[in-house]
Structure 1
Amino acid sequence: MEADLAEYLDEFTRRDWETLEPGAVTGPVRVAVVGLGWFAREWALPGIARSAYTEATVVTDIDENAVEAVAAGRDLTGVTPEEFRSGAVADAYDAVYVATPNATHLEYVEAAAAQGKAVLCEKPLEATLDRARRLVAACRDADVPLMVGYRMQTDPAARRLRDLVAAGVAGDVVHVHATMSQTMLGELDGDADQWRLDPELSGGCAAMDLGVYPLNTTRFALGADPVRVSGRTRSEHEAFAGVDEHATFRLEFPDDVDALCSVSQNAQHASRLEVTGTEARLILDPAFYEREDRGFAVVRDGTRVDVDFDQVHQIEEEFAYFGHQLLADEPFHPDGEHALADMRALDGVYESAEAGRPVALGDDTE
């Protein structure tokens, strides 16, 4: 089996999207970072710095102390959100990375679009499907590029999984199982993350915050979109009153392929995606968290091959792709229209959980 897989897994970490020669890079793309929570500080800013195609130049946040500390520590220009939205230092950046609570993405993306800046917006796109549609429309109407932060799509492990599925190594895909869980209140950084417990800011908790990973990665791996969803959500502890502590959902894809996903904000840490076909199983475990190495395995006829590969910094890969595509004047794959399919599916999961029945998914327009 190892010999059969070699043609697909050689140069595992290759950047199959990279077309620019080193001498042809005219950048880097200057990025304004909007939102300075733990993820932006510990992962996004280092990822931007590690990428040869990007550099951070401006930061903003509603927390003035955070802006001052980050700007001084990294020699960046710090501005208030009002100054950012007004375009006061728009000449200092070419693109905007939005990493604020879900329900505030729209206002910052609208400001960036009005300034003619390319946008990388975190997922989920917004707190509601309607606001997500408005966000995508703002970029479309301003004719500015919009990429959505699906970091799994630029991770080599997910890209090689997609390659194997497309090559038929798994045979006909029968089903997908995925899980993602954490003890949110213990693993994340205290008060900075409690916006996830506010339904107005987050739009939901377990399904919105975690469920988007197995949902989108399954779509990416299969190259298909779900046509119907069903979901169940529940909360057991007072801290999660008003949002979903745990969520389980089923995605029905064309050709009778089902994906069964379970996510939790209050369960032991887990991160796994398994694609089962008529010929083989393809496994990512660990799969989704940026702070742990990914694992990749193929199981066929009782034989398991674990692929040993050099790990990459997920966020460096994401920003390298973002900057490269802008400099090469090439489109993004995880764009706004792609993200709207996730928002429609998540909306369907919550609708199904409330109504107690499956929900058919239409197109992603009003």
Structure 2
Amino acid sequence: MNSRRDFLQKLGLSALALQLAPLSNWAAETKTIEPAYDGPMLRVAILGLGGYGGMVAEAMRSCTKAKLVGLISGTPSKIKTWQAKYGIPEKNCYNYQNFDNIKNNPDIDAVYVITPNGLHRDFVLRVAAAGKHAICEKPMAVNAKEGQEMVDACKKANVKLLVGYRMHFEPKTLEVIRMRQSGEFGKIRFFQGQCGFTIGDPTQWRLNKQLAGGGSMMDIGIYAINGSRYMTGEEPIWVTAQETKTDPVKFKEGVDETIQFQFGFPSGAVASCLSTYNMNNLDRFFLDGDKGFAEMQPSTGYGPIRGRTHLGELNQPVTTHQTVQMDEMAEIIFNNKKPVVPVDGEEAVKDLKLIDAIYQAVKTGKKVEVSI
């Protein structure tokens, strides 16, 4: 159990701190009787030491079941900096050419691939060949064919393939899912997912078709796609989509700027979603049923998630998403724990099939039937 002091620091409310002072004393008194975690520690190497890799590394400082023990990068200076910061031994550091040698390193259990999308497949195949569990950022690949190859390779190597779906462990998100499963919203009729921001540097990898696999859909759009599935509890059976491009210089051929897309579900429910690199303030989910609703805004951001339902505000605790994710993944790898919403490669392939269908609908202008 984390200390009450840490809890109060996160809240930053002095008045509430005073109210909770007696509880702080109680927590301090009872802390000694709580058993410390003594199970296996998931020892992770991060492959790709960029901005998000750094966020994961920082979050892992607070993990109780996972630990950063290795580094893989194409930039030697980054490795040196991270070694000093996180105390990583030289024997656990690799570059992109020699990291296949991790097969001989018993101190690394898993490799977390955090690189541009276009590199995910090849790196995960190498991780599997080395006999290590693979964790991969989302979207897992640039299309469903590549994603399935990754799933098959990990199965053949008898290692797990997990994907960084951090929202699948977020408390407010899980509460909405629980309410939907228990029928508190009634029959689900409609979902709306709005995901977007105004992208900056036109030379970055996210606007490079080869590295990104597309544009906004291959970055921020994955949240609305995946969210439509876990919020409704259904799998789409048809897709329609429309693309808008206002800047063909910045958003070159094959790099989408804005896509609106719609899903139809077996129950008759529909989803209306937006993925964009040209609008800010878009991070919202809305779920509507015939007995109630849920609205989340922000719905998928790195900071605190906020939401409300027809019953009032959601007040589940604020967590560091990546810390919870990595601890939960340790449980999945070591104890075969089944999360409420899957985070395995098969789950990711379903999203990739929908991305393929969205791009097909944009290209043809027709409704695309899907079966995932």
Normalising by the residue count of structure 1, what TM-score does the alignment of the two structures yield? Answer: 0.86
SS of residue matched to 2:284: strand
The structural deviation recorded for 1:82 is: 1.4
1:268-307 alignment, distance < 5 Å: 268-290=280-302, 292-299=303-310, 305-307=312-314
1:129-208 alignment, distance < 5 Å: 129-185=144-200, 194-208=204-218
The structural deviation recorded for 1:215 is: 1.1
The structural deviation recorded for 1:272 is: 0.6
The structural deviation recorded for 1:331 is: 5.0
**Do the aligned residues in 1 keep the contact of 2:263 with 2:270 (CA within 8 Å)?**
yes
The structural deviation recorded for 1:88 is: 6.6
Q: Equivalents in 2 of 1:361, 1:329: separation in Å?
A: 30
Q: Equivalents in 1 of 2:363, 2:209: separation in Å?
A: 15
- The answer to whether residue 277 in structure 2 is matched with residue 233 in structure 1 is no
Residue equivalent to 1:330 = 337
**Do the aligned residues in 2 keep the contact of 1:271 with 1:289 (CA within 8 Å)?**
yes
- The answer to whether residue 50 in structure 2 is matched with residue 37 in structure 1 is yes
State the structure with more CA Rg: 2
Gaps of 5+ in 1: 1-20
Q: Equivalents in 2 of 1:222, 1:216: separation in Å?
A: 10
Residue equivalent to 1:127 = 142
The structural deviation recorded for 1:27 is: 2.3
SS of residue matched to 2:180: helix
Counterpart of 2:150, as a letter, is L
1:345-360 alignment, distance < 5 Å: 345-360=354-369
Distance 1:25 1:219, change over 3 A: farther
SS of residue matched to 2:235: coil
Q: Equivalents in 2 of 1:207, 1:81: separation in Å?
A: 27
**Do the aligned residues in 2 keep the contact of 1:84 with 1:90 (CA within 8 Å)?**
no
Residue equivalent to 2:328 = 321
- The match for 1:54 among 40, 63, 66 is 66
Q: Equivalents in 1 of 2:245, 2:51: separation in Å?
A: 25
- The match for 1:212 among 214, 222, 226 is 222
**Do the aligned residues in 2 keep the contact of 1:153 with 1:217 (CA within 8 Å)?**
no
The structural deviation recorded for 1:253 is: 1.3
Counterpart of 2:250, as a letter, is A
Q: Equivalents in 2 of 1:183, 1:122: separation in Å?
A: 21
**Do the aligned residues in 1 keep the contact of 2:206 with 2:212 (CA within 8 Å)?**
yes
Q: Deviations over 1:88-132 (max 9, x none)?
A: 763231111111111111121111111221111111111122211
SS of residue matched to 1:92: coil
- The answer to whether residue 258 in structure 2 is matched with residue 246 in structure 1 is yes
Distance 1:313 1:116, change over 3 A: same
Extract structure 1 runs of 4+ deviating beyond 4 A. Answer: 21-24
The structural deviation recorded for 1:168 is: 0.9
- Between the two proteins, the alignment pairs up a number of residues equal to 332
Q: Deviations over 1:148-168 (max 9, x none)?
A: 111110111111110011111
Percentage identity across paired residues of the two chains: 24
Residue equivalent to 1:4 = none
**Do the aligned residues in 1 keep the contact of 2:119 with 2:211 (CA within 8 Å)?**
yes
Q: Deviations over 1:292-330 (max 9, x none)?
A: 21112012xxxx611234311011111111012223243
- Larger mean CA deviation between 352-361 and 111-120 belongs to 111-120
RMSD: 1.8
Gaps of 5+ in 2: 1-33
Counterpart of 2:329, as a letter, is F
Q: Equivalents in 1 of 2:64, 2:227: separation in Å?
A: 26
Q: Equivalents in 2 of 1:218, 1:53: separation in Å?
A: 30
- Larger mean CA deviation between 74-83 and 96-105 belongs to 74-83
SS of residue matched to 1:144: coil
**Do the aligned residues in 2 keep the contact of 1:230 with 1:358 (CA within 8 Å)?**
yes
Q: Equivalents in 2 of 1:175, 1:284: separation in Å?
A: 14
Distance 1:256 1:88, change over 3 A: closer
